[in-house]
Amino acid sequence: MGAALGVAATALVVATGATSQPVLSVIAMVVVVNVIALISTGWAALGTAVVCWFLHDGFVLGRHGDLALVGQAGHDALVIGFDALGVLLLVSTFRAALAPMLHLREGDPSAPRIPVQREPVFTQSQRPTTGS
């Protein structure tokens, strides 16, 4: 999902002529990474950050997917990478802050719970035998 959003954002940014203003592409990539961090896992957000940088470097700084390994590309990689780490820290803090509230649902009958383990049911031929 992150790669698809990154491709869509890159296509939109390139179509609007952001190759002359690469900062618009960086902002779009940061938004994509932040959205993925909010709705998915940390690994997905980090992977999305890598894909978004490659898309930005290949289609905005470079042309036709050719990577342009210039100083601007390194700077933009740091911006997107530090954004990914920052948003992961923020999202994980929010998720940790909400986790203690889950105990408030203990009495709620609609809250999911682990069922009690049942005693095994043996047929006559499966009944365990005693040693005597």
**Over the stretch 70-127, which tens digit does the pLDDT of each residue have?**
888 999 999 999 999 999 999 888 888 876 665 666 677 777 777 788 887 777 776 6
Q: For residues 15 and 24, give the distance between their C-alpha atoms in angstroms, rounded to a whole number.
A: 12
pTM exceeds 0.75: no
Q: For residues 17 and 117, give the distance between their C-alpha atoms in angstroms, rounded to a whole number.
A: 62
Give how far Cα 122 sits from Cα of 59, 117, 132, Å. Answer: 66, 15, 20
* Best CA proximity match to 23, nearest among 71, 78, 92, 72: 72
Question: What percent of the chain is predicted at pLDDT more than 90?
Answer: 37
- HEC secondary structure over the chain: CHHHHHHHHHHHHHHCCHHHCHHHHHHHHHHHHHHHHHHCCHHHHHHHHHHHHHHHHHHHHCCCCCCCCCHHHHHHHHHHHHHHHHHHHHHHHHHHHHHHHHHHHCCCCCCCCCCCCCCCCCCCCCCCCCCC
- Work out the average pLDDT over 9-28: 89
Q: Tell me which amino acid residue 129 is.
A: T
What are the residue ranges spanned by the domains of the chain? 2-96
Q: Which two tokens stand for residue 92?
A: 């994980």
